[in-house]
């Protein structure tokens, strides 16, 4: 029996090059799933409206954005105050919001999905949605 060990690095390199599913693809994958199964993955919704035609359900998530931003900083060089620009985390912290809206039919099957928010803000919800 031959060992597969020599091929392992090649297989890992090929697997690393495979594209990760996009956030929108994760959300689009919710179409056709039962609303109850999605609610079990995402947790309790922020808002839900039930009508004769189906249900509109909304999840909202707030994520802290620690991306450094240009910030003025005063330094004292040779006894003189000089203001320079440095990259620093914003104070107070910035929070980004992601809103995921799904529309399901009367049977509880998701028909439409819409997200509102940046990719960074929606990434945690997308990971939950992907399961």
Q: Band of the pLDDT at 57, cuts 50, 70, 90? A: very high
Sequence-ordered alpha helix ranges (H) in the chain: 8-16, 23-28, 35-42, 119-130
- How many angstroms separate the CA atoms of 35 and 127, rounded? 17
Q: What percent of the chain lies above the pLDDT cut of 70? A: 84
CA separation, residue 37 to residues 44, 65, 108 (Å): 11, 29, 10
- Contact of 34 with 109, CB cutoff 8 Å: yes
Q: Tell me: pLDDT of 131 over 90.
A: no
Better-predicted residue by pLDDT, 51 or 97 = 97
Mean pLDDT of 15-31: 73
Q: What percent of the chain lies above the pLDDT cut of 90? A: 61
Q: Tell me: pLDDT of 91 over 90.
A: no
Up-side HSE of residue 7: CA atoms within 13 Å toward CB? 4
Mean pLDDT of 81-86: 93
Torsion-angle region of 83 (φ positive above 0: left; ψ -120 to 50: alpha; else: beta)? beta
- How many angstroms separate the CA atoms of 83 and 103, rounded? 52
pTM here?
0.69
Q: Band of the pLDDT at 17, cuts 50, 70, 90? A: very low
Q: Band of the pLDDT at 92, cuts 50, 70, 90? A: confident
Mean pLDDT of 55-81: 91
């Amino acid at each position: 029996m031959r060992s597969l060990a020599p091929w392992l690095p090649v297989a890992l390199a090929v697997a690393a090059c495979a594209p990760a599913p996009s956030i929108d693809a994760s959300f689009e994958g919710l179409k056709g799933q039962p609303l109850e199964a999605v609610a079990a993955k995402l947790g309790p919704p922020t808002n839900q409206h039930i009508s004769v035609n189906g249900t509109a359900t909304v999840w909202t998530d707030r994520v802290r954005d620690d991306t450094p931003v240009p910030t003025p900083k005063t330094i004292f060089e040779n006894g003189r105050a000089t203001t320079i620009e440095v990259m620093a985390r914003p104070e107070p912290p910035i929070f980004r919001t992601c809103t995921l809206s799904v529309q399901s039919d009367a049977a509880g099957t998701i028909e439409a999905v819409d997200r509102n928010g940046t990719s960074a803000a929606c990434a945690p919800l997308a990971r939950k949605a992907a399961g």
